[in-house]
Chain A
């Protein structure tokens, strides 16, 4: 498969791995956080940790949109789906996420709710057009990558004066989450979480560009390397971070230059700015309340806002007591440190959010890497 195999070449991987091993100094620490679930998945799936020297440690960040969606919002979506006449459309990953009382959209569907899996926001708009007598709600989640398509369908619904379509918006912002982690007392004051550098998001950065990370690199003195989601991208980014740290630099470098520019996709940014506005505060599972970290639909598009249409009120629902998702999402703990990991909580019956999506740190560890825990 041309254009993909090049980024999975085993020989080249071993060459980069050898360079990392040669350049990483055994007497110092390289604690690197990959923010994105896509990177976490690639690291586990291709066994990248097997190729790293002991001094380099990967910390899995909160960049999995399914994982950080708070339980209260899942409950909201289930309540909307259960209303008579509603068709709730969403991405496949979300169907299995347990809300409170362990009810998921999949279970609500089995009990009679009309919940449909779609591959894009545009699919849900089409379902609305095909079912004029039903209320169709698109349960939208995701970081900056999936926000522009949601903005587009809202604009299209308005242009077509589509009265039976609305969006339950849960789009969140990457830079706010990174700031939250860097500002957390464990990182900033106590120094209990080692965090030496970041692998920056791939697809998110195609939209927002590399410029937003310049602030972190400067303010927190942490190097950032934006990397693609292919395994060679990840290895190359690790090498670039090791070099920056060795040389005492903290810059934003772009490994993913085949897709990311400094300014990003201005057209997409304009589209998002047209339809959405910042929420003053939004809850993230694992991180808690994060100021200015999410988007809401502007007043101008109110008829297509499911939150207004269904008068949604969100309660803050705590995770199961023993669940360590919060600490894992902030890099404080590893999946295997959680008592529920692999016992009460597995991909078949997830308790915490990190186990739900294939991009969650716990699911990735359990699915691809659990032989490491026992050997």
Chain B
């Protein structure tokens, strides 16, 4: 028998988040128990400490953190919860690392329907279980109505780098091949199609996915991969520019080799956007020595998340670190960084 008085259970059907849910009192404890611990259930979380405690192996670890502020919270192919799991797992995986654990911090706006919160946490838990990467610690804060936009989620991830892997954005060398794991721009266009003032419909889904399984197979087959990065905000164009600057090299890509879905091209055409700048949440860029490229492409294509993988260009020596593209039309142009913001709050 417990001497602790327990209030009525939380009304996840019709209730709303209020300030007491972040106040540190009983309502918060109840929300943590009935929602977060129940959904993410694992050994470390069950310890109910302010921190997760676990043993570490010798070797190199990686750690990353990311905030998710996407609007709208739910979109075709995912929601802010699954995105917060996939995005951070991917940032860990892009070091060639095996993701081990996540933390999650929720900043919730007063008035968010509890049903929405439950749906988000549920999809987050499902994504974490499917990926085999537990959420082992977390935090909940509630801010007054008007001071947030539904919910913001920050997740931190840690991972272990297998011995002999040294993947980093500064490793690209002239002569290397540039590969991508699939079609560009799906996430950005899927999210955009829901924005209130656009009024167009699409059957497109976000590509939001955890890429560590694909990465594990890539590094197992070809430990000599030099760079991996997921082209999220700013899309392929911004990410290639980042890598070119980090490595101090130029790049030449071929427009005709870059896979873009017809729906994405159509939407971009209508809206005056360039698919190369539109965000992805389940794709990666790989740079590898030319000699490994064909084999790497095979390994990528054999994985469900790399089915449409393609070799899109090569690294070249260039003192100006330009990313250039041979257009399908036969000319050449610079693929520049994105100036300003193409689409706010896409992740």
Contacts and interface: CB of A to CB of B under 8 A. Distances in A.
A197 interface: no
Given A1-B266, A118-B197, A367 B339 contact: yes
Given A48-B331, A347-B339, A347-B340, A1 B262 contact: yes
Q: Give chain B's interface secondary structure class.
A: loop
Given A8-B329, A46-B329, A123-B197, A96 B340 contact: yes
B333 A368 contact: yes
Given A96-B340, A371-B324, A46 B331 contact: yes
B197 A1 contact: no
Interface footprint category on B: 20 to 34
A47 interface: yes
B326 to A, nearest CB: 8
A327 B70 CA distance: 43
Interface string B198-216: 1000000000000000000
A10 interface: yes
B255 to A, nearest CB: 9
Contacts, number: 70
B336 A17 contact: no
B336 A366 contact: yes
A49 interface: yes
B138 to A, nearest CB: 32
A45 B333 contact: yes
Interface in B307-343: 320, 322, 324, 327-334, 336, 339-340
A47 B331 contact: yes
Which of the listed residues A51, A119, A363 has the most CB atoms from chain B within 10 Å of its own CB?
Answer: A119
A211 interface: no
Nearest to A350: B339
B265 interface: yes
B270 to A, nearest CB: 10
A166 B265 CA distance: 35
Contacts of A368: 333-334, 336
Contacts of B298: none
Given A1-B266, A118-B197, A347-B339, A371 B331 contact: no
Contact of B330 (A13, A45, A358): A13
B221 to A, nearest CB: 34
B269 interface: yes
Contacts of B269: 1, 4
A232 B129 CA distance: 51
B89 to A, nearest CB: 31
Contacts of A51: 330-331
B327 A47 contact: yes
A96 B320 CA distance: 27
A118 B336 CA distance: 26
A279 interface: no
Contacts of A366: 336
Contacts of A46: 327, 329, 331, 333
A142 interface: no
Which of the listed residues A1, A17, A363, A366 has the most CB atoms from chain B within 10 Å of its own CB?
Answer: A1
Contacts of B322: 370-371
Given A1-B262, A374-B320, A367 B329 contact: no
Those 3 A-B pairs whose CB atoms lie nearest each other, nearest first: A47-B331, A347-B339, A368-B333
21 contacts: A1-B262, A1-B265, A1-B266, A4-B269, A13-B330, A44-B333, A47-B327, A47-B330, A47-B332, A48-B329, A50-B332, A51-B331, A96-B340, A119-B271, A347-B336, A348-B339, A366-B336, A370-B322, A371-B320, A371-B324, A371-B332
Given A10-B327, A371-B332, 11 more contacts: A1-B265, A10-B256, A10-B330, A13-B330, A14-B330, A44-B333, A49-B331, A119-B198, A368-B334, A370-B322, A371-B320
